[in-house]
Structure 1
Amino acid sequence: MSKKQKEALVFVVNVGKTSKEKAENETESFLDKSKNIIKQVMERKIFMRPEDIVGVICMGSNKTKNKPGMENIQVLKDDLLVPTWNLVEEVLALEGTEKTSNWVEGLHVALQYMKENCMGRQHIAKIMILNDFQEEEDIMEQFSAGTIKAEVLDSVSSELIIIGKNPLDEAHRKELNLSEKLALHVCNMVDGVYEEIDKYFWETRFYKNPPVNPSAWKCELRIADVKIYTSTYVKVTEPPPFPSWKITTGENSVGYPPDGGNDVKKTRELVDRYRDITDPEEAIKGYKYGGKFIPFSEEDVEVTKFQGTTKSLIVRGFVKQEDVSIEYWFGKGCHVIVASLGSERQFYSLLTAMRDLGLVAIVRKVYCANSIPKMGVLFPRMQPGEPACLVHVSIPFAEERRVLKSKPVKTLAKNLSEEQKQDIEDYIDAFTLPPNEDGEVELFNPGSFCDPCKQYKWDNLSHRALNRVPLPPMDKALLNLISSPESLIQKCKPVVERLKTWVEPKVEKPKEKFEIGHKIEEIDQETQQTEENLIRAAEEAEHEMKRKEDLFKEISEATTAMDEDLLNEM
């Protein structure tokens, strides 16, 4: 993967008179929605793109602070800065005013601001305008789309993103006012993007890894003596782990310097079995097996390194696709392999033959020289609207395979009646996700929504950075990602009621209630009975001991008599 490109983003937000108004059946004004969007974008930059820089410009402000001198337009910071939580708090503290301005002048100020502060920096310049486009027509008539286009194209290469109140699609073109028509025209002329504010809010609601330019793994695909030059790209892989929790010790940390005045210092010492400190230079690394230490020097490590392989992708054979069971697929993800320039004819001929014959290729892959070889399987994929490619999935060696023997499960299907079988089918049909217009399942589509647990952690970090109150519960939007749709729940209720009739409810006898006096009397009876048993056991033990003593006395007397008889005979 190539390095992420840095961004310079300037927000142009309307805080004027019209931005305070709330539409019917809505609890937030346009300004509130705009502040939430700016907050969400800055949060993601703080967490995931800390090298990006941002700026904020307010239209319709009570203050006038900008180089071109446009009235009622305020630049919050003189320079583009790395987003901080203090800047987020300033944005959230913005309040609506009674002043007015227009987005064309705001765009002019943003372009000049971007040119002054972004010139010479290796950043992608972006301008985001958040406006409800309620300007008066006599004011907007003095501007032309051609003039605005020329100013945008002549400035620093800036991408234009406009966030508006209403949709500007074909179905709503007749309802647009002059300001909205001008904004849409400018967007089309400069290849900008227009988004409805409610829709864009949900697009920025979830944390997503920023896109990067893919870097190809180029290697020739060898089939006997045939070489096909290919490029491999990562298609699916494991997501990066959540960043580890770290304790900061900088001068800007809370509680720095420590109360004692002395910093905590960590030292590393090597000790032997007698707790004597040993010089690290005299120590040899090793392993412990079976209670015995086995030294392993650096020379031993060099000798045991795997060597002798070269970068390669070699086909070992072809098998039927159904012979490669899904249980053998493993690895961190999959890759797509496409043809490099000059090998298209050979590559597509191979794909067509594999598809027509229903075959897949078993390959041996060595990523780089002296790396461990791995086995994989190549599936041909030729779909309309997609580039023809081979999909590479790893498969295990024999030693890596684990066979799990499952216990036999007694099925109840044979004991079900026809009516009960029909209820099961109805339950499955009721909980089946409905298809969309294209015939594909839209809800819970793999890769279409983010990990709710990881999103919740990001939300908690953001909340703790801005507040000192207890953490809130998980947001409803995150819960909806892992909850069954309400429509399916309502649809399956009649079927669930029928399934409940299968189970015969167990009649539980009510527990007897005892009065306090009755409980005490019962406990006394049990205690008395226990004492009697102990006394009886003690008497029996005493009787047994007495019997053993008498028996021992008899044996002793008999032995003494025998000894005396023997002495007399001698």
Structure 2
Amino acid sequence: MTHGDFDEAKRCVEMIIQRKIFSESKDEIALIVFGSENTNNTLSSDNEYQNIDIVSNLKVANFDVLSKLQKVKKSDTAADFIDAIVVALDLLNDQTKNQKFGAKRVVLLSNLSGECSESRLKVIAKGMKNAGMELTVLCPFQIDSEGVTEKLTQNQQKAATILSEMLDVVGGDAYPFSQALHALMTYEKKKIRPTPWNASLEIGHELSIPISSYLKITELKPKPWKLCVSNRREAAVRADTTLHLNDAAETEVEKNDTNPGYRYGATLVPFTIEDRDVMEYAKGGRGYQVVGFTAGENVGRYYHMGDKTSYVVGRSGDESAEAALSAFVHALQEKKMVAIVRYAFSERSYPRMGVLRPLIKENYECLVFIQLPFMEDVRRFVFAPLDVDKSNVPTGQQLSAIDDLIAVMDLTTATTDEEKSCSPSFHWRGDLWTSSKKLGILC
């Protein structure tokens, strides 16, 4: 493999691993190098499966795998990519026993310039298909169903034909390095499976509707920095805390023999478990409890708070719950009302106030929950009028300039496409994209 082809293949693998790390993917990957000066695989014998090195076994992508990849150097040793595929299949079969995976895939990166044997092609392809394994090929040129359209060496033409036949049987894709690198440069967001929070919606003392709540929007917070050590070890860093008396011997004391205390001036006041149990607030049950109704216009957007928005639907599989919630949603919609509710995530959670707004779409209907402030949290600020100081009063020319600025910034008619201009659904978040690029540089 030439330096250019090797560098492109290595860069593709780096970007794949970086995307897995940044998106916190649970996918497990293994790294196998063929054409290596080392031989490290379970199938190797005197004359078979030589120069194939399992650099990293199957595991969730992490910086250790990236570090091992950085140490891989180009060599002039030849190896059969068919043998490498067989070693990869053996590794997948051995290290995924008694485990469930949504898909198994072998990604082959090579310039396909070495010699290869097609004697076992049909057996290997049939075995991959029966095992539900897929194949993806990344190489310097484009492979289609009829082979390749560019001038290649004899070995590359043979390899392209073999892989084309194999892809037809197994199922998979083939891409040139240039196309793969372009696709891997885009930011991959973390994939989250929606998990319902099952509770009940209580309306008075007699009516309780089983519901499921799904997060629609929540604040994405960056991961906190954790304690680490300079030499990366597999064992996690664990903090041990011990308590000692303030005496000459620094006598160690068991935590069960201590009570927390708080200073009140110069006095240290103990706060025992019994005191906490007596003074602790009785939180009540979990779920939503309707405390009243009001017109939707009375709950302005300036009352919205919290870090998430949830969609509340009837419990899946419970037809009576779905029918009851549907009637409640339509009643609120017809009356232009909203429900003010008490919300508690669990038995131990402190209650919060929120609003349930009806939302009826063509394909679904639900209640939208948004947290509201308590009365003590509302701040009503009174500001002096701006026209007291004449220097703050804008002139007619200034008002006209601002009107023109607002008019030219209107993007609703910027294009003739049916999609919204600058819709966040079709644009990457710049801060996340930049963070992922920084991660790539650090790696």
TM-score by length of 2: 0.70
Determine the structure 1 residue equivalent to 2:344.
Answer: 366
SS of the residue corresponding to residue 111 of structure 1 reads: helix
CA deviation vs aligned residue, 1:120-151 (integer Å, no higher than 9, x gap): 45666643414468689x9889956xx66641
Determine the structure 1 residue equivalent to 2:201.
Answer: 221
> How far apart are residue 90 of structure 1 and its match?
4.3
Match of residue 398, structure 1, among 354, 370, 375: 375
CA deviation vs aligned residue, 1:36-84 (integer Å, no higher than 9, x gap): 2322444566788699754222355577765277667623348546767
Contact 1:70/1:109 (CA < 8 Å) preserved in 2? no
- Larger proportion of strand: 2
Higher relative contact order (CA 8 A, sep 6+): 2
TM-score by length of 1: 0.57
SS of the residue corresponding to residue 224 of structure 2 reads: coil
Contact 2:37/2:75 (CA < 8 Å) preserved in 1? no
Determine the structure 1 residue equivalent to 2:359.
Answer: 381
1:333 aligns with 2:333: no
> How far apart are residue 107 of structure 1 and its match?
3.2
> How far apart are residue 303 of structure 1 and its match?
0.6
Q: How does 1:23-422 map to 2 (within 5 A)?
A: 29-43=4-18, 54-59=29-34, 67=43, 74-77=52-55, 79-80=57-58, 87-92=65-70, 93-95=72-74, 97=76, 99=78, 101-102=80-81, 106-120=84-98, 126-131=104-109, 143=121, 150-155=126-131, 158=133, 163=138, 182=165, 185-186=168-169, 189=171, 196-203=179-186, 208-209=189-190, 211-224=191-204, 225-248=206-229, 268-271=243-246, 284-289=259-264, 293-307=268-282, 309-340=284-315, 341=317, 342=319, 343-369=321-347, 371-384=349-362, 387-409=364-386, 413-416=394-397, 420-421=401-402
> How far apart are residue 277 of structure 1 and its match?
8.9
Gap regions ≥5 residues in structure 1 = 1-15, 21-28, 254-264, 464-570
Equivalent residue letter for 2:180:
I
Return the alpha-carbon distance in structure 2 between the equivalents of residues 175 and 408 of structure 1: 74
Contact 1:286/1:295 (CA < 8 Å) preserved in 2? yes
Aligned length: 409
Contact 2:261/2:271 (CA < 8 Å) preserved in 1? yes
Equivalent residue letter for 1:296:
F
Return the alpha-carbon distance in structure 2 between the equivalents of residues 75 and 339 of structure 1: 54
Return the alpha-carbon distance in structure 2 between the equivalents of residues 330 and 423 of structure 1: 33
SS of the residue corresponding to residue 248 of structure 1 reads: coil
CA deviation vs aligned residue, 1:447-468 (integer Å, no higher than 9, x gap): 84353675477457x44xxxxx
Return the alpha-carbon distance in structure 1 between the equivalents of residues 277 and 113 of structure 2: 73
Equivalent residue letter for 1:402:
R
| Cα RMSD for the two superposed structures | 4.9
Contact 1:362/1:377 (CA < 8 Å) preserved in 2? yes
Return the alpha-carbon distance in structure 1 between the equivalents of residues 207 and 143 of structure 2: 55
> How far apart are residue 302 of structure 1 and its match?
0.8
Return the alpha-carbon distance in structure 2 between the equivalents of residues 193 and 373 of structure 1: 52
> How far apart are residue 202 of structure 1 and its match?
1.9
Equivalent residue letter for 1:243:
P
Change (3 A) 1:369 1:142: closer
> How far apart are residue 114 of structure 1 and its match?
1.4
Contact 1:114/1:125 (CA < 8 Å) preserved in 2? no
- Larger proportion of helix: 1
Please, which moves more after superposition, 371-380 or 394-403? 371-380
Change (3 A) 1:31 1:197: farther
Q: How does 1:456-535 map to 2 (within 5 A)?
A: 458-459=439-440, 462-463=442-443
Contact 2:36/2:53 (CA < 8 Å) preserved in 1? no
1:441 aligns with 2:421: yes
> How far apart are residue 374 of structure 1 and its match?
1.6
Contact 1:165/1:197 (CA < 8 Å) preserved in 2? no
Gap regions ≥5 residues in structure 2 = 151-159, 235-239
Contact 1:379/1:390 (CA < 8 Å) preserved in 2? yes
SS of the residue corresponding to residue 368 of structure 1 reads: coil
Return the alpha-carbon distance in structure 1 between the equivalents of residues 135 and 297 of structure 2: 50
Contact 2:333/2:358 (CA < 8 Å) preserved in 1? yes
Equivalent residue letter for 2:373:
P
Equivalent residue letter for 1:218:
N
> How far apart are residue 393 of structure 1 and its match?
1.2
Determine the structure 1 residue equivalent to 2:432.
Answer: 451
Contact 1:335/1:392 (CA < 8 Å) preserved in 2? yes
Equivalent residue letter for 2:73:
L
Contact 1:336/1:392 (CA < 8 Å) preserved in 2? yes
Q: Which of 1 and 2 has greater Rg?
A: 1
The alignment-based identity, stated in percent, is 21
CA deviation vs aligned residue, 1:282-312 (integer Å, no higher than 9, x gap): 8653333566554422211011122261223
